[in-house]
Amino acid sequence: MKGIRLNNGGIHPASVAFDIDGVFADTMRLFLDIAREEFHINGIRYEDITRYNLEECISIDPQIIGVIITRILDGDYRIPLKPIHRAPEVVSRIGSRHTPVLFVTARSNPEPVRKWMEQILLLAPDSVEIVATGTCEKKAEVLVEKKISYFIEDRLETCFSLKEAGITPILFQQPWNREAHPFLEVASWKEIESLVDI
């Protein structure tokens, strides 16, 4: 963790929200699994994904990238989507202190990921709220409206817009956000758990 100092000893569960893809859901690993198993594209490692825009960092036909991303967003895949390590356990603990646990995603349609999360979380469906904004740029507006103070995000560019809106972004470390930045960051859900007052 980099530079995290909390005056009250921990983030109140009601004041934190989470991104889904790259923070809760291991979406990029699913992308690589589909590329390998269904399109026979080998040799690309998770660490090779050094940009949020995949076309800028991996040598896969842009059309295939688009097809795979569309299938992931539509929930149209056989290979299982997995959560980031310990994410379900920590979210369930947060949900035992405060509900609903808020997720804000740039996806347009939250239903496929909502159904998946209901299967893996140890919480009642109404204990989780998912807001789909359709674009990263609209996340700040939703978070301000919901009176959220902290947001866990993996897209570095989004962190800047959150900061401008008065929200404290906490960057979830991924290979695609390893540039210099001024934000707090975490490398695991264990670190998130240590920050939230649960």
pLDDT digits (tens, 9 = 90+) for 24-35: 999 999 999 999
- In a shared domain, residues 188 and 92: yes
Assigned domain for 111 exists: yes
Residue 1 inside a domain? The answer is no
Residue 176: its H or E element: none
Residue 136 tokens read as: 């990263």
Residue 6 belongs to a domain: no
Residue type, 11: I
Query: Using H for helix, E for strand and C for coil, what is the string for 26-69?
Result: CHHHHHHHHHHHHHCCCCCCHHHCCCCCHHHCCCCCHHHHHHHH
Tokens of 98: 């405060």
For the chain, what is the domain count?
A: 2
Enter the pTM of the model: 0.93
104-145 per-position pLDDT tens digit: 999 999 999 999 999 999 899 899 999 999 999 999 999 999
Q: Is there a domain that residue 5 lies in? A: no
Assess contact for 9 and 194: CB atoms under 8 A.
no
Query: Could you read off the pLDDT of 53-111 as tens digits, one per residue?
Result: 999 999 999 999 999 999 999 999 999 999 999 999 999 999 999 999 999 999 999 99
Domain holding 58, by residue range, is 27-74
Per-residue pLDDT, averaged over 41-50, amounts to 95
Shared domain check, 68 and 118: no
| Whether 64 and 97 share a structural domain | no
Same domain assignment for residues 47 and 103: no
HSE of 164, CA atoms in CB hemisphere, 13 A: 10
Identify whether the C-beta of residue 41 lies closer than 8 Å to the C-beta of residue 59.
no
Note whether 91 and 114 are same-domain residues.
yes
41 and 93 together in one domain = no
Q: Which residue has tokens 């939250």?
A: 110
Q: How far apart are CA 137 and CA 131, in angstroms?
A: 13
Q: Looking at the structure, tell me whether residues 112 and 20 fall in a common domain.
A: yes
Mark which of 35, 52, 74 sits at the end of a domain.
74
Q: What stretch of H or E contains 76?
A: none
Distance CA 63, CA 163 (A): 34
Last residue of a domain, one of 74, 94, 109: 74
| DSSP-assigned letters across all residues of 73-97 | HHT--SSPP-BPTTHHHHHHHHHHH
pLDDT in tens, 160-182: 999 999 999 999 999 999 999 99
